[in-house]
Amino acid sequence: MNETTLQQSIKKTSKKSELTAIKPAPITLKEHIVEIISDSGEGAQKCGQSLGSIAAQMGNGIWTTEIIPAEIRPPARSVAGASGNRIRIGAGRITNGGDETDLVVAFNEQVLLGRVRAKELKPGCVILLESMWRAHADPKVVASYIETYDALVAAGYKVYEIPMELECRNHVADAKRGKNMFALGMLCYIYSLELKLAVDQIVQTFGKKDRSVVDANIRLLEAGHQWAQDNLDFCYCIPAQRSTEPQIVVNGNTALALGVLASGMEICAMYPITPATSASHYLSEVFEKVGGMVHQAEDEIAACAFAIGASYASKCTVTITSGPGYSLKQEAIGLAVMGEIPLVVVNVQRGGPSTGQPTKMEQGDLMTAIFGSHGDAPKVVMAPGTIEECFYSIITARKIAEAFNMVVVVLTDAGLATSQQPFPRPKFSESWMAPPIDQSPVPEGARPYDWDETTGLARRFIPGQPGGMHALTGLAHDRDSHVAYDAEINEQTLRFRSLKLAALQKTLKAPAVFGDRKGDLLVIGWGSTKGAIEEAVETMRAEGQKVSSTHLQFLQPLPPGIKEIMQGFKQVMTIENNWSDRPEDQIIDETNRRYSSLAILLRSRYLVDIDCWSEVKGQPIKPSTIRRVMNEKLKK
Amino acid sequence: MNMMSATECLLQMCDEHLELEDYASGVPRWCTGCGDNAILAAVQRLCRDEGLRPEKTVFVSGIGCSSRFPHYMKTYGFHGIHGRALPIAEGVRMARPDLNVFVNTGDGDCCSIGAAHWIHAIRYNMNITVFLHDNQIYGLTKKQASPTSPIGTKSNTTPRGSYLEALNPLSVTLGVQNVSFVAQAVDWIPEVLFDIVRAAYHHKGLSFVRIVQRCPEWLPASLDPWLHDPNRVQLLNHENGLQSSAGLSRVYRNQLQHDPSNIDRAREIASSTDTVPVGILYRNPEVPCYEDLRRIDELRTPELTRAGLNAELDKYTVWPQEQKEMVA
């Protein structure tokens, strides 16, 4: 859209508004959670993402979460088919998806019902509901709509019926496709966001397409804005403070892919698997521009083996997968451990076991990450806790993999993968990149596995280095890489490979404590629960509770200083998104209770009676849930 | 520019010239009479004759008797895990176009546990020379039927004889899209074995060489009918393939003129059961190599990375107002 059309339209808008009702004064809010939901393919995702970006540009804190049905195209108007986006907009920094929704835009009443039944909506929240179903040709649809509408009103929700499609038809022929922009226009009005930013979004999204597409979308956006202004009796304002530093807004998978770009790795080998694939999609798009390539292998095992072959002969390589794929890679990961080949393995966790819940969030793979592969196979395990950490953890993982000739597993999850949160724009540093591979002749007498007695580290010989020829093997081997038939050599080499983890542990810093170092309750978490735990702790501390939290980015090895931190608290517990037996179950007691993963690790390492609470609902744990759990724990 | 004297030149050539023992490492722990020994001898000869730099040469293998191969070469070697030699070798090839990459795999390794990778390796057609050491039996795990065991083979898992017809590795390979080189050798004709190994090495693309080999320990007599009757070995000759020497022709009179560019004929020859075809069945140097299709000409320099990363970050950046105006 050019400037003239924009000015004309703004002029038109302002002229019209003089004729209509006076705009109500905006109600100032600290934060709000907004949802836009529709059938799959109606564009609610796009609308939500745009709203998040606009709010971020205004200077609001945001966290967006995708609402994804399990099927590609679930039947239209189905309770399980809700597709869309949930945006938490705040006056300050937002670190997680928050609690229940305050305002929802729904394109039909069935997808809305799905959200109501999932208890995702705040009691009495505002609902903007597409009203076309009231006049639908099918009397069943009409009946269902009226029944739902009446029930929602009776339950105390503030339901606004909005003829979205009807209004859109005044501007475009196919209203079903553009309705999301009408909704975006309404939301821009409701949250007092600058319409110009939304126009920019449209130009950015559809810029490559026909001008008429851009213009049609802008017309719908403006129509939505105007309609809301003319017809709604409320509007909000969430104070924003523009950042003085540039921020980037991406989801966790894009952040991972950007991390791969920045880390200097040259090859990513993968096999398609939800919810990891979008990272590889993005990488496939951009990696070649910086001299990298994405290899889609014939299966998960081949992807891992390909990555290992490339790492062995050159720089460290990455393979990106999710739970089932991670299971398949175990034998190959063991080979990399045995051969001491650097390798980065990203596991975007999903619900398990087996096929489990492909699009849902869970932190169920920690034990597999640490103990996976047969025999003693020590590897490094890291878990980013924020979108920003998704980016930097890949750079760190690459460095550790090459410095220690180890496998580094990076655990994210479906929640981080699809959530967006702004973070300061990274400033590229050459130190992020791997140096060129060593092709110099190997010194006379040097051996392919000359393990250091203290650290277990050995220099790696790379094909091409004269004098370094040896047969790397997955069999137990000695310093010359000769097959060790001697059990004693095998034991020594197990020791060296294990020592490398200790050597890394010596370089790690103690984790930070969120809150005071002394108190009644310490919550320990890992991975994507970080924002929600810290928000809950902050709220409770403001209420005068003596609670703190600490969040672990390294799970293997565990950083030093955890025991000292725990000693400052009367009680310690972990809160995790994986299974733990419920103590209230009749046959569960201290002799058989299975704890959450991190709790097991901490209990076994520190011999401290650490409790755990976990939930496996396939979605992020809400800060309000964490507060409830902590309050219950404090009463014990 | 420094000019070398003739003597210096000669000395350097002597220095760079490597003998067979320069490629040999350790004493092979294969059984006496095992076909793997013949393959090792042919490959070491190839390395010497072609003057392959040991540090620029990698042998990748899986698991099994044949996969011990890299331990007996004084080159780089990667003795990996069962069935996965091919994807590992593909990774090596992708990362390092300057290396000579070979794969040694057995009938269990390639045609059973690694069968998926076999099919796809042919389709990728990366420049790798693959030796299928086919002795029709699992040797290292002590005699179990493999996919290429002839029907009726008595083994520890098939004491009353194996139940299924043997899988034909040549037919399978020739049935996959992008196949570019298929040859068959037998361990008891070292001269042709070497010629085939050399032709495979010189082919650009994935060269698949099936070597029918004896297992004196577990199937000592199974290949006797072919060994003792030279007429059951059919040598494939062609001006674009191999040419049998006069000496060889006196012993092996069953010879066939076969143009290796004819894939339909290659498929027919591959499916013959009473004679063992030996020679190049199919060769097509025009099939593109995956690594060439995927090769990135851009070097992964810090400058390129900085520019590429910043261009991507620009797409997602929310600028502070004044900077945004500056950028605009």
Backbone conformation region of residue A366, classed left if phi is above 0, alpha if psi is from -120 to 50, else beta:
alpha
Chain A residues within 8 A of B91 when measuring between CB atoms:
267, 269, 305-313, 317
Residue A66, pLDDT > 50, answer: yes
Contact of A253 with A347, CB cutoff 8 Å: no
> How many C-beta neighbours within 10 Å does residue A432 have?
22
Residues with Cβ within 8 Å of residue A477, at least 6 apart in sequence: A449, A483, A484, A489, A493
Query: Is B320 part of the contact surface with chain A (CB cutoff 8 Å)?
Result: yes
> Does the beta-carbon distance from A464 to B55 stay under 8 Å?
yes
- Closest CA of chain B from A302, distance in Å: 5
Nearest to A425 among B59, B91, B317 (CB): B317
Q: What is the pLDDT of residue A68?
A: 86
Alpha helical stretches, state H, chain B:
6-16, 35-50, 85-95, 107-108, 115-124, 169-174, 190-202, 224-228, 246-251, 263-270, 290-294, 302-316, 321-327
CATH code: domain A3-237 is 3.40.920.10
Q: What is the pLDDT of residue B286?
A: 98
Residues B12, B18, B19, CA angle at the centre, nearest 5°?
140
Nearest residue in chain B measured CA to CA from A430: B302
Asked which of A12-21, A274-283, B57-66, B121-130 is least confident by mean pLDDT, the reply is A12-21
Contact of A350 with A493, CB cutoff 8 Å: no
β pairing state of A407-413 and A380-382? parallel
Residue A581, pLDDT > 70, answer: yes
> Does the beta-carbon distance from B308 to A286 stay under 8 Å?
yes
Q: Provide the β-strand partners of residue A613.
A: A575
Query: Is A423 part of the contact surface with chain B (CB cutoff 8 Å)?
Result: no
Rounded average pLDDT over A182-192: 97
Q: Which of residues 54-83 of A touch B (CB under 8 A)?
A: 56-57
d(CA A362, CA A347): 12
d(CA A554, CA A491): 27
- Closest CA of chain A from B172, distance in Å: 17
Residue A531 corresponds to which tokens in the numbers above?
Answer: 């924002």
Chain A interface, mutation test: which of B72, B88, B178, B292, most A Cβ atoms within 10 Å? B88
Nearest to B88 among A305, A314, A331 (CB): A305
Rounded average pLDDT over B4-12: 73
Chain B residues within 8 A of A243 when measuring between CB atoms:
318, 320
Nearest residue in chain A measured CA to CA from B85: A305
For B31-66, the pLDDT digits (tens) are 999 999 999 999 999 999 999 999 999 999 999 999
CA atoms within 13 A on the CB side of A239: 4
For B286-327, the pLDDT digits (tens) are 999 999 999 887 888 999 999 999 999 999 998 887 555 555
Model confidence band, residue B5 (pLDDT cutoffs 50, 70, 90): confident
Q: Which of residues 176-195 of B touch A (CB under 8 A)?
A: none
> How many C-beta neighbours within 10 Å does residue B11 have?
12
Q: What is the pLDDT of residue A13?
A: 44
Count residue pairs from A and B with Cβ separation < 8 A. Answer: 208
Concatenate the DSSP letters of all residues of A540-557 into one string: HHHTT--EEEEEESEEES
> Does the beta-carbon distance from B304 to A291 stay under 8 Å?
yes
d(CA B216, CA B34): 6
Rounded average pLDDT over B171-177: 98
For A136-145, the pLDDT digits (tens) are 999 999 999 9
Chain A interface, mutation test: which of B298, B309, B314, most A Cβ atoms within 10 Å? B309
Chain A residues within 8 A of B92 when measuring between CB atoms:
309-310, 312-313, 463
Model confidence band, residue A41 (pLDDT cutoffs 50, 70, 90): confident
Nearest to A308 among B91, B298, B300 (CB): B91
Residue A488, pLDDT > 70, answer: yes
- Closest CA of chain B from A557, distance in Å: 27
Cis peptide bond N-terminal to A384, omega within 30: no
Q: What's the one-letter identity of residue A633?
A: K
Rounded average pLDDT over A467-492: 95
Q: How high is the mean pLDDT of chain B?
A: 94
CA nearest to A401, candidates A449, A343, A336, A358: A343
Q: Which of residues 36-65 of B touch A (CB under 8 A)?
A: 53-56, 58-60
For A497-529, the pLDDT digits (tens) are 999 999 999 999 999 999 999 999 999 999 999
Q: What is the pLDDT of residue A616?
A: 97
d(CA A251, CA A153): 36
d(CA A611, CA A9): 60
d(CA B294, CA B301): 18
Rounded average pLDDT over A97-104: 97
Residue A99, pLDDT > 50, answer: yes
Looking at CATH, the fold of the domain delimited by B23-298 is given as: Rossmann fold (3.40.50)
Q: What is the pLDDT of residue A21?
A: 53
From the number of C-beta atoms within 10 Å of its C-beta (0-12, 13-18, 19+), residue A494 rates as middle
Q: What is the pLDDT of residue A207?
A: 76
Chain A interface, mutation test: which of B52, B63, B318, most A Cβ atoms within 10 Å? B318
For A592-612, the pLDDT digits (tens) are 999 999 999 999 999 999 999
3.30.70.20, 3.40.50.920, 2.60.120.10, 3.90.226.10: CATH of A513-635: 3.40.50.920
d(CA A216, CA A218): 5
Q: Looking at chain A, which residues constitute the CATH 3.40.50.920 domain(s)?
A: 513-635
CA nearest to A629, candidates A583, A590, A587, A592: A583
- Closest CA of chain A from B276, distance in Å: 32
Spelled out in words, what is the top-level CATH class assigned to the domain A248-432?
Answer: alpha beta
Q: What is the pLDDT of residue A2?
A: 45
Per DSSP, A483 falls in state B
Model confidence band, residue A6 (pLDDT cutoffs 50, 70, 90): very low
For A207-227, the pLDDT digits (tens) are 777 888 899 999 999 999 999
Contact of A352 with A303, CB cutoff 8 Å: no
Residue A19, pLDDT > 50, answer: no
Q: What is the pLDDT of residue A11?
A: 41
Residue B175, pLDDT > 50, answer: yes
Contact of B161 with B241, CB cutoff 8 Å: no
Query: Is A446 part of the contact surface with chain B (CB cutoff 8 Å)?
Result: no
Q: What's the one-letter identity of residue B27?
A: V
Alpha helical stretches, state H, A232-365:
252-263, 277-286, 300-313, 323-328, 330-339
Q: How high is the mean pLDDT of chain A?
A: 94
Query: Is A243 part of the contact surface with chain B (CB cutoff 8 Å)?
Result: yes
For B244-273, the pLDDT digits (tens) are 999 999 999 999 999 999 999 999 999 988
Q: Looking at chain A, which residues constitute the CATH 3.40.920.10 domain(s)?
A: 3-237
Chain A residues within 8 A of B310 when measuring between CB atoms:
428
Model confidence band, residue A3 (pLDDT cutoffs 50, 70, 90): very low
Q: What is the pLDDT of residue A392?
A: 98
Q: Looking at chain A, which residues constitute the CATH 3.40.50.970 domain(s)?
A: 248-432
Sheet with A569-576, side-by-side order of all strands: A513-514, A547-552, A519-526, A569-576, A611-614
Asked which of A4-13, A78-87, A272-281, A509-518 is least confident by mean pLDDT, the reply is A4-13
Chain B residues within 8 A of A49 when measuring between CB atoms:
none
Q: Where are the domains of chain B?
A: 23-298
> Does the beta-carbon distance from A309 to B91 stay under 8 Å?
yes
CA nearest to A621, candidates A580, A577, A582: A577
SS (H, E, C) A317-351: EEEEECHHHHHHCHHHHHHHHHHCCCEEEEEEECE
Chain B interface, mutation test: which of A328, A374, A469, most B Cβ atoms within 10 Å? A469
Q: To 10 degrees, what angle do helices A195-206 and A175-190 make? A: 150
Chain B interface, mutation test: which of A306, A341, A428, A481, most B Cβ atoms within 10 Å? A306
Percentage of residues of chain A with pLDDT beyond 70 = 96
Nearest residue in chain B measured CA to CA from A332: B81
Q: Which residues of A74-94 are buried (b: 16+ CB within 10 A; e: fewer)?
A: beebbbebbbbbbbbbbbeeb
For A419-448, the pLDDT digits (tens) are 999 999 999 999 999 889 999 999 999 999
Model confidence band, residue A4 (pLDDT cutoffs 50, 70, 90): very low
Q: Provide the β-strand partners of residue A525.
A: A551
Concatenate the DSSP letters of all residues of B117-131 into one string: HHHHHHHHT-S-EEE
Rounded average pLDDT over A452-481: 97
